[in-house]
Structure 1
Amino acid sequence: MNRKPLKGIHHVSALTANASENFSFYTKSLGMRLVKKTVNQDDTSVYHLFYADERGNPGTDLTFFEIPRAGRTYHGTNAVTTTGLRVKSNDSLIYWKKRFEKLTIEHDNIEVLKDRKTLAFRDHEGQRLRLISDENNQGVEGGIPWEGSPVSTEHAIVGLGPVELTVSRIERTANVLTDVLGFREGASYTKPSTQQNVRVFETGEGGTGAEIHLIEEREMERERPGRGSVHHVAFRVENTDELHKWVNVLDENHLPNSGFIERYYFRSLYFREPNGILFELATDGPGFEGDEDFEVLGEKLSLPPYFEERRTEIEAKLKPLPTKEGE
């Protein structure tokens, strides 16, 4: 079937046990913009929060489902083990290291991975994140920093970088990436801190916004997810017509999947690769301004039209989450 290549990383969705603390960390400490405060469409009793660049351009969204009773994460294999966040330059990493020290955010030293300078850190719940310098990046462009951020636009986070997966049987995942999803395998590298071999796969224009970094750990137990773990990673599809083609591709490859799903802000398709990691394919549009103006994105609880008649019921189950001055 004649389909266009996936364009890169669309979003990463993770778990938090406390929406208020999560909002504070990602907007105040990391300076990302909350572009949408909505609910989990599969469980409307909990929040779904979207942090991104100035308007939630595709490839910039780090999202969180609030699960108030989520326990701790027991790290292991067959999971998304690090989410990359792009910054513009090597100097930005120096800025962020000083900022992390000032804010007492747990972090490592700056190190070079795949000829790029990086800085690994953890959020208040142990979410594993890594800043990636785009100084020498060639490939998918980053997003546009939000001018209302407490972080200067010079050093702001401009999108999602490489996503690291750790799996027990690497060829199973590698084959889905290349043979089904159309990724290209590039040069591998060794992580200096752990001496793990990392295989790199890229799609579309390539570069930091279009890479999966794959590690094999056969002896580790399967990760037990909780607060601070990743729920799924999503890849960019140009439009709805292309997404329907991908439904057919998965069916032809006998990969059980959700089929086409309407998410209002984008359209989606979900499936699990053979090691059990949840993948999503998501369209670049329509975007987040269909129910809110640019200037006030994320300030109120947004519900897709098909949930609007249940607003009173839904709001009654949610703990208030102030996301603007005066609330």
Structure 2
Amino acid sequence: MQLTGIHHLTAITARPADNHGFYTGTLGMRLVKKTVNQDDVSAYHLFYADGEASPGSDLTFFDFRVRPERRGTHSITRTGLRVAGEASLRWWAERLASEEVRHGAIHERDGRLTLDFEDAEGQRLALIDDGGAGDAYAWAKSSVPAEHQIRGLGPITMSVPKSAPTDMVLRDLMGMRQVRDYDGPDATKTLVYEIGDGGPAAELHVAIEPGLPVAEQGAGAVHHVAFRIPDQDYGAWADRLKSVRNRVPSSGPVDRFYFRSLYFREPNGILFEIATDGPGFAADEPKETLGERLALPPFLEPRRAEIERGLKPLATIP
């Protein structure tokens, strides 16, 4: 029973139409599911991924009309997006510059070439050279050439003031391995934890930053990160979290229809999710037309008319 990698990462936008334009236009990702936050159906939940809507490629956004994030520790601070090779990073550097996207220079971090950038709301992202390892599923309708398209998520970087409490959960509860460390910006020590077979699609980087204020979530922040498990391991993970509920309170089983989830906070307050690979986003609409209509899971479908009336117009979203 083992985590196999990053499943998805969910962030916050206060400008969903602009968000859609950036992630499908500038970044060339595919909108694979246009649905609602199942806990607050007045808000959209937008899922961007690769051409096949593969687990591990989903970067998702809650549509919360909130003020900007106050940056700090106790938070996820940067989301890695994998591309194949230095040539792709050079291509992306030119594209970001031409679109006037705030970005840094290509540099090496933890032994990999990296290009940091931000969206218009300050969402901190990085393009990571993954060497072309593993499967990739390009989207034929993307504005980005297939060879330069984003291949998936990872690594994910989070900030904590001290590592010991988080380390206990990552190692003992989640079965991660601390495999190395490196010095980040301002000589910040960053610990690298590996999941499953490892590699950039299966890494969590923990920066130790005791001098920072506590972050306040808002637009441009990350809401949570989810880790992958095979469908058949879900019950065992639910039992595992239940067995430590006095030390690590958790949600218990939550059926999101497109996958099944378990939620808990690590000791520094960062929200983690464990999610199954299946059944996937084609459970309620053809794979060829994913994201082209408002999709509601069966338990919300009887409320479609009410939900559609309550949603804010998103005229630029197909």
| Residue number among 242, 255, 264 corresponding to 1:262 in the alignment | 255
Report how far residue 169 of structure 1 moved.
2.0
2:67 pairs with 1:74: no
Cα-to-partner distance string for 1:274-303 (whole Å, 9 max, x where unaligned): 000000000001011111112211010000
Matched position secondary structure for 1:121: strand
Checking the alignment, whether the CA contact within 8 Å between 2:191 and 2:206 is kept in structure 1 is yes
2:92 matched residue in structure 1: 96
Report how far residue 251 of structure 1 moved.
2.1
2:208 pairs with 1:216: yes
Distance 1:263 1:236, change over 3 A: same
Using the alignment, how far apart are the partners of 1:143 and 1:288 within structure 2? 17
Using the alignment, how far apart are the partners of 2:198 and 2:191 within structure 1? 14
2:309 pairs with 1:312: no
2:191 pairs with 1:196: no
Matched position secondary structure for 1:177: helix
1:85 matched residue in structure 2: 81
1:126 matched residue in structure 2: 122
Report how far residue 242 of structure 1 moved.
1.0
Moved more, 254-263 or 119-128: 254-263
2:101 pairs with 1:110: no
Structure 2, unmatched stretches of 5+, are none
1:14 matched residue in structure 2: 11
Checking the alignment, whether the CA contact within 8 Å between 2:242 and 2:252 is kept in structure 1 is no
2:198 matched residue in structure 1: 206
Q: For residues 265-304 of structure 1, what are the structure 2 equivalents within 5 Å?
A: 265-304=258-297
**Letter matched to residue 264 of structure 1:** F
**Letter matched to residue 258 of structure 1:** S
2:20 pairs with 1:23: yes
Matched position secondary structure for 1:301: coil
Checking the alignment, whether the CA contact within 8 Å between 2:73 and 2:213 is kept in structure 1 is yes
2:235 matched residue in structure 1: 244
Report how far residue 323 of structure 1 moved.
6.0
Checking the alignment, whether the CA contact within 8 Å between 1:83 and 1:128 is kept in structure 2 is yes
Q: CA RMSD in A?
A: 1.2
- Scaled by the length of structure 2, the TM-score of the pair is 0.97
Matched position secondary structure for 1:109: coil
Aligned-pair identity in percent equals: 49
2:184 pairs with 1:187: no
Cα-to-partner distance string for 1:152-206 (whole Å, 9 max, x where unaligned): 0100001001000101121111111111100011111112x43211110011111
Checking the alignment, whether the CA contact within 8 Å between 1:298 and 1:323 is kept in structure 2 is no
Checking the alignment, whether the CA contact within 8 Å between 2:83 and 2:132 is kept in structure 1 is no
2:151 matched residue in structure 1: 158
Cα-to-partner distance string for 1:242-299 (whole Å, 9 max, x where unaligned): 1221121122223210011010000000000000000000000101111111221101
Using the alignment, how far apart are the partners of 1:47 and 1:136 within structure 2? 33
What is the total number of aligned residue pairs between the two structures?
Answer: 316
**Letter matched to residue 135 of structure 1:** G
Using the alignment, how far apart are the partners of 1:194 and 1:116 within structure 2? 18
Using the alignment, how far apart are the partners of 1:175 and 1:136 within structure 2? 32
Using the alignment, how far apart are the partners of 2:120 and 2:210 within structure 1? 29
Checking the alignment, whether the CA contact within 8 Å between 1:237 and 1:281 is kept in structure 2 is yes
Distance 1:256 1:168, change over 3 A: same
4+ residue stretches of structure 1 with deviation over 6 A? none
Report how far residue 320 of structure 1 moved.
2.6
2:226 matched residue in structure 1: 234
1:171 matched residue in structure 2: 164
Distance 1:142 1:62, change over 3 A: farther
Report how far residue 143 of structure 1 moved.
3.6
Using the alignment, how far apart are the partners of 2:86 and 2:172 within structure 1? 35
